[in-house]
Structure 1
Amino acid sequence: MASKDGIQIGMAGSPPRPEYKVYRSRRGPFDRLRGLGGLEGLRRKRGGPKVPGRAREHPPLRRIAKWIALAVAVWIALALVLFFISAQFEQGEGLSRAAERNLEGGSSFLFGSTVLVIGSDQRPSTSTEEKSPPRADSIILLRGSLGEVRRVSILRDSLAQIPGQSPQKINAAYAIGGTDLLIDTVEDYLGGDVEVNHVIRLSFDDFPKLIDALGGISITLERCVRSQKFNGRRVNLKRGDHHLDGQEALRFARVRNNLCDPAEDDRDRAARQQQVLSAIRSRFISPGAFVRAPWIGWRVPQTINTDLAGPGLSALAFDVTTGGAGDTKVLEPAGFGPGGSVLVSEEERAEAAEYLTGGE
């Protein structure tokens, strides 16, 4: 390699690359902090305060929320399973084949179905009252469809033409021919425009069990209700709020002659029964019902006699709980008939039928 004036020249005639050394700088204080997670990590190591807003969430709330949602879903699923199993065992229990054949059936609770609800006054085996053929203590027609529920209450003393019998109180049809004859009588009484698709029968033995499964019901009285003794007990409720267990609710619903107001009649009795039904519905949708859901799911089908299977019964329960409290139309009597019966005009009955079916 040639040189000129003491300067070495490369092969291509270019000057050579200068020689130099690379020195690594010492780690400063901030570099050391990186291994500790920065200033926040150093504070944690030395026990200092945490920087607000930068700490990780602990415990993980999202994970807790998922476990709660899973527990709720399992609880509801358990209640539904018990409900369906119990309903399958109880379907058709206590209903005659003639009554089941007489039902129209087929209608869906999605588009509208009519249920005859019968409150039977058949005394339990432990009752001290005189034994007699059971009569329909309350007669209610319930029309359930998605998002709406309509109810019509027929006074049990309403004078009606019972097929094959002389005109008499409509509840006598149940004592004479059971559910089958009562279905025919109710359909004829409302002019033939109403077809009963299903039936639910509730007796004295069953009613308190349903209330107790719900944990009792709450009612508010605008005036006192007091009765004479029946079955060894009397009703004595003051004006105001009350929480009733099954037996107390039964006695309240059955009060016919209110000693606090002798002017009351069968319409007031029907109103008390509707008040109990509304209280039951309110209890069904309360937080307490969720806690008791499995017990309610198992008990409800056992407290009623019905032709409805699990899916139909659950659809009806859905309509009742989501369709709102709604108004109940009580057929108003226009006068009195023989034997203490009450007379309801044809116009009133036709109006009730139209209200129930929605003009269908």
Structure 2
Amino acid sequence: MGERPPEYKVYRSRRGLLDRFRSADEPSGLRELRKLRQGGGAEPGGPDRPRRRLRGRVSLGKALKVLALLAVGWILLAVVLFFVSAQTTEGSDARTERALNSGGSLFTGSTILVLGSDARPEDSKEPGAGGPSRADSILLLHVGFGSVRRLSILRDSLAEIPGHGEGKINSAYAIGGAPLMIRTVRGFMGNGLRINHVIEVNFTEFPELIDSLGGIDVKLKRCVSADPFSGRRFKLPKGEHHLNGRQALAFARVRKNKCSPGEDDRARARRQQQVLSSIRSRALSPHGFFRAPWIAWEAPRTIKSDLKGFGMAGLFTDLLTGGSGKTRVLLPSGESGGALTVSEGEKVRTVRALEGEQ
């Protein structure tokens, strides 16, 4: 006996408004996935593999988008912290800015004098603590067109100090600070050299910058040993080492290496170059990316400069992306009264090389 038909009407539900818009806008892949779900899965006897593959693609795409957004947000956070730190950091005074040459752009070409003093805290046990600070390192940078050229001037080079006669070039910093140092270096190098900007490295904050990077790696061909630094003797054996901020500062400041008494100031300049190169490598590594906000906050606090905001940001960008070319050292030709003499021919060659004329 057959079944009796139902005594009520069967209605089919209409598609909702959201379903209409969704079907028009959603990707074809998602539309096919929805059809498969509504139809109860794959066709009888057919493989379920296409649906799984599509689901995997959708999940991977979403994950990549989330990672990209997080990376952009992380970089933006670092940029904001950099500019906030740069605005709250002390800049060069009016006397220093008047001593600089006008003109010069970080995009078209500019020469920057970088000075690091040998100042030690008054309560430090190091020799010279509390006394007048001299220029511990003197570096000229020529930045422009995405390239960076470097020239290191040995601190014991004999120079004419305006208003004070001849003396070691680093003593100009103790006598008249950055303004006199700018005039001394410009007169010493001659050959029309223009110094457009100046950077004074704050060695008090320098260890904090190294620590924000998570330390740096250096490789030594021979051991390095020096007098006590901050009350502790500094010694590194030959080989590879990971240095924290305090160790990196001590390494850069070693002048008389007891492991190699025959070394002169050129070896010291090479160690400083090694530290700068290691900072750059660390900042550009994946490790540097994960620590970007900390690095961005500490970098401006490590220096005092006439550069502000975008100018400082442009400088750090050029230093990081302008290649890791070797720093040229102004070589002495002789010695006079314990100071190093440099020939005029050497000065001409180095100024031309610095400005990219050879």
Cα pair 1:333 1:345 within 8 Å, conserved: yes
| Residue 225 in structure 1 maps to residue 239 in structure 2 | no
> Within 5 Å, which residues of 2 pair with 1:36-185?
37=39, 40-42=42-44, 50-51=48-49, 55-58=53-56, 60-92=59-91, 95-129=92-126, 130-185=129-184
Partner of 1:347: 345
Separation in 2, partners of 1:230, 1:68: 44
Cα pair 1:124 1:204 within 8 Å, conserved: no
Look up the SS of the partner of 1:348 in the other structure: helix
RMSD: 2.1
Deviations 1:67-105 (A, max 9, x none): 11111111101110111111112151xx33211111224
Separation in 2, partners of 1:217, 1:126: 27
Q: Which has the larger radius of gyration?
A: 1
Partner of 2:354: 356
Partner of 2:281: 282
Partner of 1:6: none
Change (3 A) 1:62 1:342: same
Cα pair 1:223 1:239 within 8 Å, conserved: yes
Separation in 1, partners of 2:211, 2:122: 20
Q: CA deviation at 1:43?
A: 6.2
> Within 5 Å, which residues of 2 pair with 1:176-255?
176-255=175-254
Separation in 2, partners of 1:333, 1:35: 81
Partner of 2:263: 264
Cα pair 1:141 1:153 within 8 Å, conserved: yes
Give, as a single letter, the amino acid of the residue that structure 2 aligns with 1:40: A
Separation in 1, partners of 2:54, 2:250: 60
Separation in 2, partners of 1:225, 1:194: 36
Cα pair 2:122 2:130 within 8 Å, conserved: no
Separation in 1, partners of 2:262, 2:188: 27
Separation in 1, partners of 2:120, 2:339: 23
Look up the SS of the partner of 2:140 in the other structure: strand
TM-score with structure 2 setting the length: 0.84
Q: CA deviation at 1:125?
A: 4.2
Q: State the aligned residue count.
A: 320
Partner of 1:304: 303
Give, as a single letter, the amino acid of the residue that structure 2 aligns with 1:102: A
Give, as a single letter, the amino acid of the residue that structure 2 aligns with 1:188: G
Give, as a single letter, the amino acid of the residue that structure 2 aligns with 1:160: A
Separation in 2, partners of 1:113, 1:308: 12
Deviations 1:274-320 (A, max 9, x none): 11111111111111111111111111111111111110111111111
Partner of 2:5: none
Look up the SS of the partner of 2:230 in the other structure: coil
Separation in 1, partners of 2:281, 2:233: 26
Look up the SS of the partner of 2:161 in the other structure: coil
Change (3 A) 1:203 1:36: closer
TM-score with structure 1 setting the length: 0.84
Separation in 1, partners of 2:54, 2:93: 67
Cα pair 2:191 2:348 within 8 Å, conserved: no
Deviations 1:332-359 (A, max 9, x none): 1111111x21111111111111111113
Partner of 1:26: none
Give, as a single letter, the amino acid of the residue that structure 2 aligns with 1:106: G
Please say which of residues 124-133 and 271-280 is displaced more in the overlay: 124-133
Separation in 2, partners of 1:262, 1:35: 80
Separation in 2, partners of 1:336, 1:218: 35
Look up the SS of the partner of 2:263 in the other structure: coil
Separation in 2, partners of 1:83, 1:230: 31
Cα pair 1:234 1:251 within 8 Å, conserved: no
Cα pair 2:143 2:318 within 8 Å, conserved: yes
Separation in 1, partners of 2:142, 2:53: 58
Look up the SS of the partner of 1:300 in the other structure: helix
Change (3 A) 1:258 1:55: closer
Please say which of residues 123-132 and 174-183 is displaced more in the overlay: 123-132
